[in-house]
């Protein structure tokens, strides 16, 4: 694709349009479209999670949930 040779890293986040960051999958980001575009460009770079922190004291669980969300898309589109 047009951008494939220029992509080496991207930050993944979700947010409600006109508002702040929310947990992955609960905002307005179209992850299907994003990952389909990455697949079309044969993306093999890194992905940085820039996500909502979640509830204090649940950092480990929240991190696991975000990684699981990401892995579902990676397995579907980038394997």
Predicted local distance difference test score (pLDDT) of residue 72: 97
Work out the average pLDDT over 50-76.
95
Whether 54 has a pLDDT exceeding 70, the answer reads yes
Whether 52 has a pLDDT exceeding 70, the answer reads yes
Write a three-state SS string for the chain: CCCHHHCCEEEECEECCCCCEECCCCCCCCHHHHHHHHHHCCCCCEEEECCCCCCCCCHHHHHHHHHHHHHHHHHHHCC
Whether 2 has a pLDDT exceeding 70, the answer reads no
Q: Tell me the pTM.
A: 0.86
């Amino acid at each position: 694709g047009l951008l494939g040779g220029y992509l080496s890293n991207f930050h993944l986040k979700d947010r409600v349009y006109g508002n702040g960051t929310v947990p992955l999958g609960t905002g307005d980001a179209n992850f299907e479209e994003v990952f389909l575009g990455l697949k079309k460009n044969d993306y093999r770079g890194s992905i940085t999670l820039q996500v909502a922190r979640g509830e204090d004291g649940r950092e480990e669980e929240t991190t696991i949930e975000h990684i699981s969300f990401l892995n579902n898309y990676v397995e579907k589109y980038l394997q």
